[in-house]
Chain A
Amino acid sequence: MQKETPKPVKYRRMSFLKAIRMYKWLYLMLIIPLSQYILFRYAPLSGLQVAFKEFSVFKGMAKSPWATPALKYFQEMFGSPQFWNAVRNTVKLNLLDLLFGFPVPIILAIMVYEMRSLRLKKVYQTMMYLPHFLSWVIIGSLVSKIFGTNGPINSLLTTMGGKPVNFLMDEGNWVVMYVVTGIWQSAGWGTIIYLAAISGVNTELYEAAEVDGCGRLRRIWYVTLPCIMPTIVIMLILRLGQMVGIGFERPYVMMNNMVRNSADVISTFVYDRGILNRQYPFATAVDIFGSVVNMCFVIGANLITRRMGEGGLF
């Protein structure tokens, strides 16, 4: 019974072999997840060399010759108007998302918090979280059914004597639809983090404000908002960190040929060039560009929040 009982509380350096023997079960557990990380997170990085090679599927990755000059495909990328179009669209759609989408969950959270009836609060929350759980394919289908040429919005417009509007095939309208859909999907869910912040506000402050004769709106403006400002700033910075990336599904599902020019973002551009048209080196170069810029933004955002004393993301 007395054999090698580990003393977990002691924090002491020990020899590698001794550690392995002592914690063999813990290390054995790691075999499955670590092999997954190595096999599917780290090993795929070897594919990045394709961006610098004249890649041929038949020769394989290792035997394909290096491109001359080595940065050939990066030059091609920087010279490609479609690439710059995709970058522009990515930043533009992200900025619009930020401008119109960012304040919505804050406003909603404050209003939900102010609800006096607990039951009503629950009902509102239950309903506004729903869109978050629908896939983008389902959301895209809903949008096309509702705003399509024979959808209810257009039939309403025509019965009121207006002209039908092409919401999804016109570039300007499409961008609006893209942003609105994004807000629809994420605003309700986004309230959670702000609700948590608001319920952390010291209630004595509210009472004090009330004693001083503050109305509800003034109290929200002078107490609630300043108190959750740190959370707002952190969310803003983290959001700014994602400025150069847009997931594949949302633009892809909403896109159609008529609006390709304004809807093509980096992720859809990579899919089109790489997977559909098999221009692997070129598409990998675009991937690397996106990854590196994105990483700089995310790390930058993290450094800023950390400097503000909020601990960063991790």
Chain B
Amino acid sequence: MSQHSSAKPRVAKGRRYLGSEIVFNVILTLFVLLCVLPVIHVIAKSISGRAPVLAGKVFFLPKELDFNAYASVFNDPTMIRSMWFSIQWTLIYTGLAMVSTILLAYPLSRHYLPGRKVLMVLVLIPMYFTGGTIANFLWVKQMGLIDSPWSLVLPILTSTYNTIILRNFFESVPTSLEESAKLDGCNDLQILLRIILPLSTASLATIALFYAVARWNNYADVRYYINSSNKFTLQMKLYQVVFASSSSDVSMVEGGKNAVLAETIQCAAVVFSTVPILIVYPFLQKYFVQGVMIGAVKE
């Protein structure tokens, strides 16, 4: 019986399912091409000459190679400033968010801690009921944080979702390690720093990436809270370049009285702000899938 099932399908499978194999491959190939081609199209446009772009002749391969659009982007101080601003505050946010999340997740993971249930409820309620855009806005305003970069950090410092993922992981660390450390006279902080954290580097990396990508991509709160253009994140700057380029944004249109240069510049700006994500993408993909899996394991 087992001989049959192990030997026969090997030969037969390849032919028997040939039809569906082809169909599945064609559909999947089409789908993944659809996922990737838009990005390739914009890259191609960004390094093409004005004439072919104007004529709509650029699809997935650049025509009349021309890197002037990138020169314009890199010579635009506001663009570079937004890039640095985004990087800087993404790092600050990720660091602080990790500290806060660890400090919340660890006590929550200690099942013997009195008051843990109350704490959990306190943490979960905002997941179901939030003040909403305006109440948060008025509060940020009342705190004097409008137009301060801290308005992009403090209100979203601890994500309940990430906290629960991390708590689940901390719970899975064997308690025997903790107990022996306690016998050696370690306090809870030392145990966290010396035993638990070194054992959870993979989970910590996952969560840190969750935070960094969220901050990097977030656009709504910048729209709500930030007014001055020297505090625009890259997403905000990109929105301006692409969707409001007809406005008086002189530095971007400068040098290109004609709309086509602006079009290639816009594409270059899109690529410019996509590249950081593409660089970390291999790590992202690996850790995020793990993260989703950890998150899927319920309490």
Name A's B-contacting residues (CB within 8 A).
Answer: 1, 5-6, 8-11, 13-14, 16, 19, 23, 25-30, 32-34, 36-37, 39-48, 50, 60-61, 108, 111-112, 114-116, 120, 123-131, 133-138, 140-146, 150-152, 154-155, 158, 184, 187-188, 192-193, 196, 207, 210-211, 215-217, 247-249, 252-253, 267, 270-271, 274-275, 280, 283-284, 287-288, 290-291, 295, 298-299, 311, 313-314
Contacts and interface: CB of A to CB of B under 8 A. Distances in A.
A102 to B, nearest CB: 16
Given A1-B185, A140-B243, A216-B17, 17 more contacts: A8-B112, A25-B188, A26-B110, A29-B188, A44-B139, A108-B31, A133-B277, A134-B277, A135-B217, A142-B38, A152-B59, A155-B57, A216-B16, A249-B220, A274-B134, A283-B133, A287-B131
Contacts of A207: 5
Given A19-B115, A126-B285, A44 B107 contact: no
A193 B263 CA distance: 39
Given A155-B57, A267-B133, A30 B5 contact: no
A148 B25 CA distance: 31
A90 B228 CA distance: 31
Contacts of A126: 285
Given A30-B103, A138-B238, A146 B41 contact: yes
Given A134-B274, A193-B292, A270 B107 contact: no
Interface of B: 5, 9, 13, 16-17, 20-21, 24-25, 27-28, 31-32, 34-36, 38-39, 41-42, 45, 54-59, 99-101, 103-104, 106-107, 110-115, 119, 122-124, 126-140, 142, 154-158, 163-164, 175, 178-179, 182-183, 185, 187-189, 192, 213, 216-220, 223-224, 235-236, 238-239, 242-243, 263, 266-267, 270, 273-274, 277, 281, 284-285, 288-289, 292-293, 296, 298-299
Nearest to A274: B134
Among A34, A133, A146: residue with most chain B CB under 10 A? A133
A253 B24 contact: no
Contacts of A152: 41, 56, 58-59
A41 to B, nearest CB: 4
Contacts of B59: 152
Contacts of B213: 133
Contacts of A151: 56
Nearest to A285: B134
Contact of A196 (B28, B185, B296): B296
- Please give me the 5 A-B residue pairs with the lowest Cβ-Cβ distance, nearest first: A155-B56, A287-B132, A47-B135, A135-B217, A33-B104
